[in-house]
Amino acid sequence: MFELTCPECQSKVPVTPAKAGGEVPCPQCDRSIAVPKLGELKTLPQVQDAGAASADVAPRGLSGGRSMAFAALGAVSLLCFLGAAFCGINWATIEVPATSQTHLEGLKETYQQLSAARLIREYQDITEFGVDVPHPYPYRMIELRKQAWGNKAMAFAAAGLLAAVLSVFVGRRTSASGVLT
């Protein structure tokens, strides 16, 4: 853009090279100003376009909404990974004193040491009352609690990974042609 001066009011009028040889109205006094031909127009002082100036100065970061989404997803990802670490540490520190397999092996050893009369009495109790246990064994409660901590750790880790991947996609910049950079 070139800077043309109005002969009437002396205000400065920006003119593009496309208007060379034509006329433009003055924004102050509405008088028609003759624009010189391209060769003469190039001798006039150049004016930088306000849009171009702001484009040069504009930050190259994310737009407001995208940067907020990036920050929020990053924070969610961080919190999820911290939750996964907490649950993982709790899972790792719980020691299960026995398992169902070791419990059954212990019962098998105990039944092998019982007398025939005691085994018959056990069989009668099982047929009369059943084998249902009203409350889980303490080792089984500990085992279930450890399993719950492990499941929570995996859920937090999966959510954290998803949030991290989403924040990477949100944080990617696109060029004017739509290509990711």
**Please, which pLDDT band fits residue 174 given cuts at 50, 70 and 90?**
low
From residue 179, give the alpha-carbon distance in Å to each of 20, 161, 168, 172, 175. Answer: 36, 25, 15, 10, 5
Helix (H, G, I), strand (E, B) or coil at 13: strand
Q: Range with the lowest mean pLDDT among 31-35, 45-49, 99-103, 166-170?
A: 45-49
- Calpha distance 61→10 (Å, rounded): 41
Structure token pair of residue 153:
């750790």
Q: Using one digit for the tens of pLDDT, what is the confidence trace for 123-163?
A: 888 788 777 767 778 888 999 999 999 999 999 999 999 99
